[in-house]
Amino acid sequence: MTQVPVNPTDISEHRQVNKVEGKPYRTGFLNAFWGGSDTSDPRVLLRARRENVLSSSQSLHHYTSLSGLKGIIEENGFWASDNRFMNDAEESWNGIKLAREVLQHKAKRSSEPAFASILRNVDELLASPRQYGHLVACFSTARDDLGQWRGYGAGGVCLCLGTVGEAEAPLFFGPDHLPYKAIYDDLRKRVLLLSVLRGFEREYALDRIAMASKWPNNHDEHYTQQLHLKISGCILGFKDRAFQNEAEARIVLSHQQVDSYEGGLRFRVSPLGIIPYLRTGDHLAIKKDGGRLPLREIIVGPAPHQELVAQSVETFLRQSGYANTTVSLSQVPYRTP
């Protein structure tokens, strides 16, 4: 594996070196985690493509029941539930296996012993039981899809999300609420993992240059924590090729972000236990800016009384302030049980 070249002059292109108690301190691990925000930087754009970050112009869809629709409108957002208790939690273990293979491969070939140690520590963390999961809100890029209607049956609806007007709430925004398309191809999964590792390796090398005189005692620990969080989040976008027709997209949040949500972590009861979750509408940025969800359209799925259901949905939307949201009927020829 080739090493990431580092030039001392590159430091000026990245995060500024700060002073902590008069000593140099550079938080490269945060720069590596978030990947930078300068969209004119080709490296930022390349990383966004590798991570399957959706553009702001991309329409997203959420299939749910009428009860789910009512809750989403009233709470002005979606539930991001702990992935440990999701139906497809087994897929994350397959992602962990792949990530561990890549970490071990990279650690054996790293020319920096300290960074190789960080990679091995992250490998051990992935192998150990998880005290906390990630919080995931699920969407799809597929509109009016037969497979999705089969999953929700009679009376389901599809929420079509995208730009509506100036009064909309910022459901999708960086760095917290970025939607990622699921990755179904194993080669693309490996490419993404290696890209993440190279980003952390590069920042670590720059930190070594910037803080050569005084290396903070907990700096390697910070790198381990942030790299573990990043890899764990990436894994949640890995799906088996057999499910690629779902065209899934996700917002992935960590428990470290809980303080950014009014009311913090919430809990609900399900057959799998007492499930932790966050409500996206509780994000402090959304609470501050106000506005409603960017809801372009609601499609009423196949149902025995489809037109009557559509009338009820339209009445509910108008009463809730969604005057510009279209209500339409699914065109999928599907007979519900």
User: What pLDDT, in 10s, does the model give residues 43-95?
Assistant: 555 666 666 676 656 789 999 999 999 999 999 999 999 988 876 656 677 78
Lowest mean pLDDT among 25-39, 79-93, 115-129, 230-244: 25-39
Residues 6+ apart with CB under 8 A from 296: 59, 160, 161, 162, 163, 164, 325, 326
Sign of CA dihedral 171, 174, 176, 181: positive
Mean pLDDT, range 236-247, rounded to an integer: 84
- Provide the 10 A C-beta neighbour count for residue 218: 9
> CA angle, 274 as apex, 269 and 279 as ends, to 5°?
75
Beta strands 295-300 and 326-329, pairing class: parallel
Q: Give 321-337 pLDDT, tens digit per residue.
A: 999 899 999 998 866 55
The pTM (predicted TM-score) of the whole model is 0.78
